[in-house]
Structure 1
Amino acid sequence: MARKMYDVEIPLGTYSDRDGRQKTRWQNVGAVMDGDKGPYLLLDRWFNPAGLPNPDDRTSVILSLVEPKR
């Protein structure tokens, strides 16, 4: 049986919380799973990295691996 190791998330922008602090808005786009034959990556079908904001004109996309929320 597969076990989720990490959520895969991307930063979509920023917002201000009620105290006026700048926070990053994150979107979950998949998961890293640990299966019988080793780890594998699941990406949501709607996720298209070409549609992400790219103000610095970078050629790559950074996806963050975060511990799953319980």
Structure 2
Amino acid sequence: MATTHVYDLAVKTGEYESNGQTKGRYENIGKVLRNDNGQFMLLKKTFNPAGVDSNGNMIAVSMFEPKANDRQQHSSQQGSGYGAGGQPSRELDDDLPF
């Protein structure tokens, strides 16, 4: 069952100025994947929505299409480093210091 990377998820964390234009600063907080069972999201455990500015009880999460080479890489890796149930595979745990 191949998994395809459909979208990157990001929140706006601030703004900066470049060449006289104000641009948004975004933080990647996860991704949307698709497999034979449908679409699902994987969110970074370290993402804290309380730290994102908002005008109420909700925050805006933007969905960006991944770059073409990212999409091909993730679909060919069958799960993008994630095993059954969206759990990280053992190979991702290899560089953890604890």
TM range (shorter): 0.7 to 0.9
Higher helix proportion, which one? 2
Q: Name which of structure 1's ranges 44-53 and 34-43 shifts more when overlaid on structure 2.
A: 44-53
Structure 2, gaps ≥5 residues long = 69-98
1:53, CA displacement in angstroms? 2.5
1:22, CA displacement in angstroms? 0.5
Whole-Å separation in 2 of the counterparts to 1:11 and 1:69: 19
TM-score normalised per structure 2:
0.64
1:66 to 64, 67, 84: 64
Aligned length: 67
Partner of 2:77: none
1:29, CA displacement in angstroms? 0.4
Say what the alpha-carbon RMSD is for the aligned residues: 1.1
Identity %: 34
TM-score normalised per structure 1:
0.87
Whole-Å separation in 2 of the counterparts to 1:43 and 1:66: 15
1:15, CA displacement in angstroms? 0.2
Higher strand proportion, which one? 1
Partner of 1:41: 41
Rg larger in structure: 2
Structure 1, gaps ≥5 residues long = none
Partner of 1:25: 25
Where does structure 1 differ by over 3 angstroms across 4 or more consecutive aligned residues?
none
**C-alpha distance after superposition, 1:1-45 (max 9, x if no partner):** 11000000111110001x111000111100000012000000011
Higher relative contact order, chain-length normalized (CA < 8 Å, sep 6+): 1
Aligned residue type for 2:49: P
